[in-house]
């Protein structure tokens, strides 16, 4: 038996539009993001999910409610990577620097590595295996957890996941499919 996951990213935020790194900050959906999610809801209206999970960050919760019209199951393991002192930053940094090393600690956020995100997602996948065999799961979350699924379920390296990230090309789609065996 297996579990089917359809992964959705939260809608565009004001921070996204300004190229700010939101990390663990709540983030607020922009007007563009609100319209994206209303349209996503229309596109996926015919899809049926056994359960919908989202991170506990406000932009993901708001996205889930707009697209799916209901309350999701909230799970902290689906949070974005904690960018530490780089949270809210406009500066570019090479994410591969933080695969094994945590982002620098800040006054409000502690910083973590992408391996930390991978470990959280591996734990979440074990939870799904124990509780949702044969089910179709929807997840609404962030870049870090999605790339971690690419690493865990599609056997990519972190560098490959970053290099092939759809965000670089703008190749958004209404959900990415993953299978947990």
Given 10, 112, 118, 142, the catalytic residue: 10
In angstroms, the CA 157 to CA 164 distance is: 10
Q: Is 136 considered catalytic here?
A: no
Q: Summarize pLDDT for 129-140 with one digit per residue, the tens.
A: 999 999 999 999
Distance in angstroms (rounded) separating the CA atoms of residues 54 and 31: 21
Catalytic residue among 17, 28, 80, 136: 80
The pLDDT of residue 83: 97
Strands 3-9 and 176-180 come out as antiparallel
For residue 29, the 8-state DSSP code is: B
Tokens linked to 176: 């990415």
Q: What is the pTM of this model?
A: 0.95
Is residue 53 within 8 Å of residue 61, measured between CB atoms?
no
Residues 22 and 86: their CA atoms lie apart, in Å, by: 9
d(CA 73, CA 100): 29
CATH architecture classification, 3-180: 3-Layer(aba) Sandwich (3.40)
Return per-residue pLDDT of the chain as tens, 181 residues: 899 999 999 999 999 999 999 999 999 999 999 999 999 999 998 889 999 999 999 999 999 999 998 889 999 999 999 999 999 999 888 999 999 999 999 999 999 999 999 999 999 999 999 999 999 999 999 999 999 999 999 999 999 999 999 988 878 888 999 999 9
Quick: pLDDT tens for 46-80: 889 999 999 999 999 999 999 998 889 999 999 99
Respond yes or no: is residue 130 known to be catalytic. no
Per the CB < 8 A criterion, the answer to whether 23 and 80 are in contact is yes
Count CB neighbours of 50 within 10 A: 12
């Amino acid at each position: 038996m297996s579990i089917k996951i359809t992964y959705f990213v939260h809608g565009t935020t004001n921070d996204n539009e300004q190229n700010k790194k939101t990390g663990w900050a709540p983030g607020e959906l922009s007007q563009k993001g609100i319209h994206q999610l209303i349209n996503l809801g229309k596109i996926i209206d015919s899809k049926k999910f056994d359960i919908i999970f989202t991170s506990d960050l406000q932009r993901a919760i708001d996205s889930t409610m707009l697209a799916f019209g209901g309350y999701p199951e909230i799970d902290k393991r689906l949070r974005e990577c904690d960018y530490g002192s780089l949270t809210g930053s406009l500066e570019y940094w090479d994410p591969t620097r933080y695969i094994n090393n945590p982002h620098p600690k800040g006054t409000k956020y502690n910083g973590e590595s992408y391996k930390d995100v991978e470990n959280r997602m591996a734990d979440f996948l074990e939870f799904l295996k124990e509780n949702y065999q044969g089910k179709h799961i929807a997840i609404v979350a962030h870049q870090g957890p999605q790339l971690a699924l690419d690493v865990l379920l599609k056997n990519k390296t972190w560098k490959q996941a970053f290099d092939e990230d759809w965000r670089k090309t703008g190749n958004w789609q209404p959900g990415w499919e993953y299978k947990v065996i």
